[in-house]
Amino acid sequence: MKFKNFDELLGLVRGQTNRIVVPGANNDEVLTACKMGVDHKIISGGILIGPKAQVEEMAKKVGLNLGIFEVIDKSDYAEMCNLAVDLVKAGKGDFLVKGLVDTKFYMKAILRKEIGAVAEGTVLSHFVLFEQANYHKLFAVTDAAIMIAPTLDQKAMIVNNAVDMMRMLGVEKPNVAVVCPVEKVNEKIPSTLDAQALANMNKEGRIKNCVVEGPYDVYISFSKELAAEKGIKGAVVPGNTDIALFPDLDAANPVYKCLSFFGAGMKSATLLAGSNIPVILPSRTDSPMTKLHSIALACYLKDKAGVLAK
Protein backbone atom coordinates (compact mmCIF):
# COMPACT_ATOMS: atom_id res chain seq x y z
CA MET A 1 0.00 0.00 0.00
CA LYS A 2 1.20 3.49 -0.84
CA PHE A 3 0.64 4.70 2.74
CA LYS A 4 0.97 2.89 6.07
CA ASN A 5 -1.67 4.79 8.01
CA PHE A 6 -4.22 7.58 7.71
CA ASP A 7 -1.78 10.24 8.90
CA GLU A 8 0.44 9.42 5.92
CA LEU A 9 -2.62 9.52 3.64
CA LEU A 10 -3.52 13.01 4.84
CA GLY A 11 0.03 14.13 4.09
CA LEU A 12 -0.12 12.68 0.58
CA VAL A 13 -3.29 14.55 -0.41
CA ARG A 14 -2.58 17.83 1.37
CA GLY A 15 -2.83 20.82 -0.97
CA GLN A 16 -5.06 19.17 -3.58
CA THR A 17 -8.01 21.04 -5.09
CA ASN A 18 -11.16 19.13 -4.15
CA ARG A 19 -14.76 20.31 -4.34
CA ILE A 20 -17.24 18.37 -2.28
CA VAL A 21 -21.02 18.11 -2.65
CA VAL A 22 -22.90 17.31 0.56
CA PRO A 23 -26.60 16.38 0.62
CA GLY A 24 -27.96 16.76 4.15
CA ALA A 25 -25.33 19.30 5.15
CA ASN A 26 -27.36 20.24 8.24
CA ASN A 27 -25.25 17.94 10.39
CA ASP A 28 -22.60 18.85 12.97
CA GLU A 29 -20.41 15.84 12.20
CA VAL A 30 -20.23 16.36 8.44
CA LEU A 31 -19.65 20.12 8.80
CA THR A 32 -16.94 19.47 11.38
CA ALA A 33 -15.35 17.07 8.86
CA CYS A 34 -15.59 19.79 6.21
CA LYS A 35 -13.81 22.23 8.52
CA MET A 36 -11.12 19.64 9.24
CA GLY A 37 -10.77 19.07 5.50
CA VAL A 38 -10.32 22.78 4.88
CA ASP A 39 -7.81 23.02 7.75
CA HIS A 40 -5.87 20.03 6.35
CA LYS A 41 -5.94 21.67 2.89
CA ILE A 42 -7.76 18.77 1.21
CA ILE A 43 -11.04 20.64 0.60
CA SER A 44 -10.99 23.80 -1.50
CA GLY A 45 -14.74 24.44 -1.63
CA GLY A 46 -17.97 22.88 -2.74
CA ILE A 47 -21.74 22.82 -2.42
CA LEU A 48 -23.68 22.20 0.79
CA ILE A 49 -27.32 21.15 0.34
CA GLY A 50 -29.87 21.30 3.14
CA PRO A 51 -32.14 23.66 5.10
CA LYS A 52 -30.13 26.86 4.67
CA ALA A 53 -30.79 28.38 8.08
CA GLN A 54 -29.77 25.15 9.82
CA VAL A 55 -26.64 24.75 7.68
CA GLU A 56 -25.56 28.31 8.42
CA GLU A 57 -26.26 27.96 12.14
CA MET A 58 -24.37 24.67 12.40
CA ALA A 59 -21.47 25.96 10.29
CA LYS A 60 -21.11 28.88 12.68
CA LYS A 61 -21.24 26.49 15.64
CA VAL A 62 -18.38 24.31 14.32
CA GLY A 63 -16.35 27.25 12.99
CA LEU A 64 -16.69 26.48 9.27
CA ASN A 65 -16.24 29.52 7.03
CA LEU A 66 -18.94 29.27 4.35
CA GLY A 67 -17.16 31.75 2.09
CA ILE A 68 -15.76 29.00 -0.14
CA PHE A 69 -19.03 27.03 -0.24
CA GLU A 70 -22.32 27.49 -2.03
CA VAL A 71 -25.33 26.67 0.16
CA ILE A 72 -28.44 25.39 -1.61
CA ASP A 73 -31.64 25.55 0.42
CA LYS A 74 -33.52 22.23 0.34
CA SER A 75 -35.33 20.17 2.96
CA ASP A 76 -36.56 17.10 1.07
CA TYR A 77 -34.10 14.20 1.43
CA ALA A 78 -34.73 12.71 -2.02
CA GLU A 79 -34.38 16.10 -3.72
CA MET A 80 -31.13 16.79 -1.86
CA CYS A 81 -29.62 13.50 -2.96
CA ASN A 82 -30.78 13.73 -6.57
CA LEU A 83 -29.40 17.25 -6.90
CA ALA A 84 -26.08 16.29 -5.28
CA VAL A 85 -25.54 13.39 -7.70
CA ASP A 86 -26.54 15.56 -10.66
CA LEU A 87 -24.01 18.22 -9.64
CA VAL A 88 -21.13 15.74 -9.37
CA LYS A 89 -22.13 14.10 -12.66
CA ALA A 90 -22.13 17.56 -14.29
CA GLY A 91 -18.61 18.26 -13.01
CA LYS A 92 -19.66 20.83 -10.40
CA GLY A 93 -18.00 18.80 -7.66
CA ASP A 94 -15.31 16.15 -7.36
CA PHE A 95 -17.14 13.73 -5.08
CA LEU A 96 -20.19 13.18 -2.91
CA VAL A 97 -20.07 13.25 0.89
CA LYS A 98 -23.12 11.80 2.64
CA GLY A 99 -24.60 14.08 5.30
CA LEU A 100 -27.81 13.75 7.29
CA VAL A 101 -29.73 11.72 4.72
CA ASP A 102 -30.92 8.12 4.75
CA THR A 103 -28.76 5.71 2.78
CA LYS A 104 -31.83 4.57 0.80
CA PHE A 105 -32.30 8.07 -0.68
CA TYR A 106 -28.57 8.46 -1.30
CA MET A 107 -28.31 5.13 -3.10
CA LYS A 108 -31.52 5.61 -5.08
CA ALA A 109 -30.15 8.89 -6.44
CA ILE A 110 -26.87 7.26 -7.44
CA LEU A 111 -28.58 4.27 -9.05
CA ARG A 112 -30.81 6.29 -11.39
CA LYS A 113 -30.42 4.92 -14.92
CA GLU A 114 -29.70 8.31 -16.44
CA ILE A 115 -26.70 8.74 -14.13
CA GLY A 116 -25.01 5.58 -15.43
CA ALA A 117 -22.98 5.17 -12.25
CA VAL A 118 -22.86 1.38 -12.39
CA ALA A 119 -21.55 -0.67 -15.30
CA GLU A 120 -23.86 -3.41 -16.55
CA GLY A 121 -23.21 -6.75 -14.88
CA THR A 122 -21.65 -5.25 -11.76
CA VAL A 123 -22.88 -4.19 -8.32
CA LEU A 124 -22.18 -1.36 -5.92
CA SER A 125 -20.74 -2.31 -2.56
CA HIS A 126 -19.57 -0.73 0.67
CA PHE A 127 -15.81 -0.59 1.29
CA VAL A 128 -14.39 0.31 4.71
CA LEU A 129 -10.65 0.72 5.17
CA PHE A 130 -9.59 0.21 8.80
CA GLU A 131 -6.51 1.08 10.79
CA GLN A 132 -6.34 -0.79 14.10
CA ALA A 133 -3.64 -0.60 16.76
CA ASN A 134 -3.63 -4.40 17.14
CA TYR A 135 -3.21 -5.28 13.44
CA HIS A 136 -0.05 -4.70 11.44
CA LYS A 137 -1.55 -3.05 8.36
CA LEU A 138 -4.61 -1.39 6.93
CA PHE A 139 -7.40 -3.77 5.94
CA ALA A 140 -10.84 -3.57 4.38
CA VAL A 141 -14.24 -4.90 5.46
CA THR A 142 -17.01 -5.50 2.92
CA ASP A 143 -20.01 -5.27 2.44
CA ALA A 144 -21.37 -3.56 5.53
CA ALA A 145 -24.07 -1.33 4.04
CA ILE A 146 -25.34 -2.10 0.54
CA MET A 147 -25.87 -5.78 -0.31
CA ILE A 148 -28.32 -7.33 2.15
CA ALA A 149 -28.04 -11.03 1.27
CA PRO A 150 -25.68 -11.35 -1.70
CA THR A 151 -25.74 -14.43 -3.90
CA LEU A 152 -22.56 -16.29 -4.74
CA ASP A 153 -22.18 -14.36 -8.00
CA GLN A 154 -22.79 -11.07 -6.19
CA LYS A 155 -20.17 -11.99 -3.59
CA ALA A 156 -17.69 -12.50 -6.42
CA MET A 157 -18.55 -9.01 -7.70
CA ILE A 158 -18.10 -7.55 -4.19
CA VAL A 159 -14.67 -9.19 -4.01
CA ASN A 160 -13.77 -7.72 -7.41
CA ASN A 161 -14.85 -4.25 -6.26
CA ALA A 162 -12.74 -4.47 -3.11
CA VAL A 163 -9.75 -5.90 -4.98
CA ASP A 164 -9.94 -3.05 -7.50
CA MET A 165 -9.95 -0.55 -4.64
CA MET A 166 -6.97 -2.16 -2.94
CA ARG A 167 -5.03 -2.28 -6.20
CA MET A 168 -5.67 1.45 -6.63
CA LEU A 169 -4.11 1.86 -3.18
CA GLY A 170 -1.00 -0.03 -4.24
CA VAL A 171 -1.73 -3.56 -3.01
CA GLU A 172 -0.90 -5.46 -6.17
CA LYS A 173 -2.37 -8.83 -5.14
CA PRO A 174 -4.67 -8.46 -2.11
CA ASN A 175 -5.30 -11.34 0.28
CA VAL A 176 -9.04 -11.98 0.70
CA ALA A 177 -10.41 -13.86 3.71
CA VAL A 178 -13.95 -15.16 3.25
CA VAL A 179 -15.14 -14.88 6.83
CA CYS A 180 -17.64 -17.38 8.24
CA PRO A 181 -18.64 -18.58 11.72
CA VAL A 182 -16.45 -21.68 11.32
CA GLU A 183 -13.43 -22.73 9.26
CA LYS A 184 -14.83 -26.02 7.96
CA VAL A 185 -17.31 -26.45 5.14
CA ASN A 186 -20.68 -27.36 6.61
CA GLU A 187 -23.76 -27.92 4.47
CA LYS A 188 -25.91 -26.50 7.27
CA ILE A 189 -23.98 -23.19 7.13
CA PRO A 190 -24.50 -21.76 3.62
CA SER A 191 -21.78 -19.13 4.00
CA THR A 192 -19.14 -21.88 4.22
CA LEU A 193 -20.33 -23.36 0.92
CA ASP A 194 -20.05 -19.94 -0.72
CA ALA A 195 -16.58 -19.47 0.79
CA GLN A 196 -15.40 -22.74 -0.68
CA ALA A 197 -16.91 -21.81 -4.06
CA LEU A 198 -15.24 -18.38 -4.05
CA ALA A 199 -11.86 -19.90 -3.23
CA ASN A 200 -12.33 -22.34 -6.12
CA MET A 201 -13.35 -19.51 -8.47
CA ASN A 202 -10.11 -17.77 -7.56
CA LYS A 203 -8.04 -20.91 -8.22
CA GLU A 204 -9.79 -21.32 -11.58
CA GLY A 205 -8.98 -17.73 -12.57
CA ARG A 206 -12.58 -16.50 -12.46
CA ILE A 207 -11.70 -14.09 -9.64
CA LYS A 208 -8.42 -12.45 -10.59
CA ASN A 209 -5.60 -10.33 -9.15
CA CYS A 210 -5.95 -11.62 -5.58
CA VAL A 211 -5.71 -14.65 -3.31
CA VAL A 212 -9.06 -15.83 -1.95
CA GLU A 213 -9.15 -18.31 0.94
CA GLY A 214 -11.88 -19.59 3.23
CA PRO A 215 -14.01 -20.44 4.98
CA TYR A 216 -12.09 -18.79 7.81
CA ASP A 217 -13.32 -17.44 11.10
CA VAL A 218 -12.14 -14.02 12.31
CA TYR A 219 -9.32 -15.52 14.41
CA ILE A 220 -7.83 -17.39 11.46
CA SER A 221 -8.26 -14.44 9.12
CA PHE A 222 -6.22 -12.08 11.28
CA SER A 223 -3.79 -14.34 13.18
CA LYS A 224 -1.29 -16.76 11.69
CA GLU A 225 -0.69 -18.25 15.14
CA LEU A 226 -4.37 -18.94 15.79
CA ALA A 227 -4.70 -20.36 12.29
CA ALA A 228 -1.89 -22.81 13.07
CA GLU A 229 -3.61 -23.79 16.33
CA LYS A 230 -6.72 -24.61 14.32
CA GLY A 231 -4.79 -26.78 11.90
CA ILE A 232 -4.59 -24.40 8.93
CA LYS A 233 -1.34 -25.14 7.09
CA GLY A 234 0.26 -23.80 3.93
CA ALA A 235 -2.19 -20.90 3.61
CA VAL A 236 -1.30 -17.39 2.45
CA VAL A 237 -4.08 -15.27 3.92
CA PRO A 238 -4.15 -15.97 7.70
CA GLY A 239 -2.57 -13.11 9.64
CA ASN A 240 -2.05 -11.19 6.40
CA THR A 241 -5.62 -10.37 5.37
CA ASP A 242 -6.12 -7.26 3.22
CA ILE A 243 -9.86 -7.74 2.61
CA ALA A 244 -12.38 -9.45 4.89
CA LEU A 245 -15.51 -10.49 3.00
CA PHE A 246 -18.46 -11.14 5.31
CA PRO A 247 -21.45 -13.31 4.34
CA ASP A 248 -24.18 -10.68 4.43
CA LEU A 249 -25.34 -7.41 5.95
CA ASP A 250 -26.36 -9.12 9.21
CA ALA A 251 -22.73 -10.14 9.75
CA ALA A 252 -20.80 -7.27 8.18
CA ASN A 253 -22.66 -4.26 9.56
CA PRO A 254 -22.36 -5.17 13.27
CA VAL A 255 -18.66 -6.02 12.76
CA TYR A 256 -18.10 -2.64 11.07
CA LYS A 257 -19.84 -0.80 13.90
CA CYS A 258 -18.15 -2.84 16.65
CA LEU A 259 -14.72 -2.12 15.15
CA SER A 260 -15.65 1.55 14.83
CA PHE A 261 -16.97 1.81 18.40
CA PHE A 262 -14.67 -0.51 20.34
CA GLY A 263 -11.58 -0.94 18.14
CA ALA A 264 -8.25 -0.07 19.75
CA GLY A 265 -6.72 2.96 18.05
CA MET A 266 -9.40 2.71 15.36
CA LYS A 267 -9.33 4.93 12.30
CA SER A 268 -11.39 4.28 9.19
CA ALA A 269 -12.59 5.56 5.82
CA THR A 270 -15.70 4.46 3.95
CA LEU A 271 -16.36 4.63 0.22
CA LEU A 272 -18.74 3.22 -2.33
CA ALA A 273 -17.00 0.66 -4.55
CA GLY A 274 -18.07 -0.14 -8.10
CA SER A 275 -19.34 3.34 -9.01
CA ASN A 276 -17.91 5.51 -11.76
CA ILE A 277 -18.65 8.64 -9.76
CA PRO A 278 -16.71 9.16 -6.50
CA VAL A 279 -18.96 8.57 -3.49
CA ILE A 280 -18.17 8.72 0.23
CA LEU A 281 -20.50 6.50 2.24
CA PRO A 282 -20.09 6.83 6.02
CA SER A 283 -22.80 6.10 8.54
CA ARG A 284 -24.65 9.20 9.67
CA THR A 285 -23.23 8.59 13.15
CA ASP A 286 -19.61 8.03 12.07
CA SER A 287 -17.20 10.49 13.66
CA PRO A 288 -15.96 13.63 11.90
CA MET A 289 -12.52 11.99 11.80
CA THR A 290 -13.90 9.02 9.85
CA LYS A 291 -15.56 11.42 7.44
CA LEU A 292 -12.27 13.35 7.10
CA HIS A 293 -10.35 10.15 6.36
CA SER A 294 -13.04 9.16 3.84
CA ILE A 295 -12.61 12.51 2.09
CA ALA A 296 -8.84 12.02 2.10
CA LEU A 297 -9.18 8.53 0.60
CA ALA A 298 -11.49 9.85 -2.12
CA CYS A 299 -8.96 12.63 -2.81
CA TYR A 300 -6.22 10.03 -3.24
CA LEU A 301 -8.30 7.82 -5.52
CA LYS A 302 -10.07 10.41 -7.65
CA ASP A 303 -7.37 10.63 -10.31
CA LYS A 304 -6.55 6.92 -10.31
CA ALA A 305 -7.68 4.75 -13.21
CA GLY A 306 -10.47 2.30 -12.49
CA VAL A 307 -12.67 2.31 -9.46
CA LEU A 308 -13.21 5.99 -8.84
CA ALA A 309 -12.52 7.31 -12.30
CA LYS A 310 -14.57 7.19 -15.45
Residue 194's pLDDT is 98
Residue 276 contacts residue 87 (beta carbons within 8 Å): no
Q: Is the dihedral of CA 36, 37, 41, 43 positive or negative?
A: negative
Distance CA 195, CA 176 (A): 11
Superfamily assignment of 128-267 in CATH?
Isopropylmalate Dehydrogenase (3.40.718.10)
Q: SS3 of 128, please?
A: strand
User: Which residue(s) pair with 69 in the sheet?
Assistant: 46
Distance CA 183, CA 238 (A): 12
Q: For the chain, what are the domain ranges?
A: 1-117+275-310, 128-267
CA distances from 164 to 28, 78, 138, 211, 304 (A): 33, 30, 15, 13, 11
Q: Would you give per-residue pLDDT tens digits along the chain (310 residues)?
A: 999 999 999 999 999 889 999 999 999 999 999 999 999 999 999 999 999 999 999 999 999 999 999 999 999 999 999 999 999 999 999 989 999 998 889 999 999 988 888 888 889 999 999 999 999 999 999 999 999 999 999 999 999 999 999 999 999 999 999 999 999 999 999 999 999 999 999 999 999 999 999 999 999 999 999 999 999 999 999 999 999 999 999 999 999 999 998 987 899 999 999 988 888 888 777 888 998 999 999 999 986 644 333 3
CA distances from 128 to 56, 134, 188, 239, 263 (A): 30, 17, 29, 19, 14
Q: Find out if CATH 3.20.20.70 is the number for domain 1-117+275-310.
A: no
